[in-house]
Amino acid sequence: MAASVVRRLAALSGASAVAAGAYGAHGFKNKDPDDYQRVLYETANKYHFYNTMALLGAAHCGKPAVAGSLLLAGMGMFCGSLYHQAVTGDPGLRKVAPIGGMALIAGWLAMIL
């Protein structure tokens, strides 16, 4: 049961990563390529994709609900705060990113269980 839920969440995450990547490719089209907001967006999108693949793997580990929950929370906090700052220019959530990074690391490690 938990594995199928995690697989479905991974599919939704992957689809949203593709949509976010498309937005980034077109939404920042006329901006300077060295623009910090564009770099933030690309970083968020890259980590969103990487951890979506981990989420697919989490569906097959011993504790899919634990690993999946940590990965989803980490993506929300890490990628979400970077996406937010890239799109709005507001750095208000930047302190959430390191917490999200730690959750991502814990999610990867939870797949050992």
How do residues 34-89 score in pLDDT, each as one tens digit?
688 888 888 999 999 999 999 999 888 889 999 999 999 999 999 999 999 999 98
What is the distance, to the nearest Å, from the Cα of residue 111 to the centroid of all Cα atoms in its chain?
Answer: 17
Q: Measuring CA to CA, how many Å separate 104 from each of 27, 36, 58, 96?
A: 27, 23, 12, 12
Residue 30 has pLDDT above 70, yes or no: no
Token digits of residue 80: 């979400």
pTM above 0.85, yes or no: no
Each residue of 3-16: pLDDT tens digit? 788 878 887 887 78
Residue 113 has pLDDT above 70, yes or no: yes
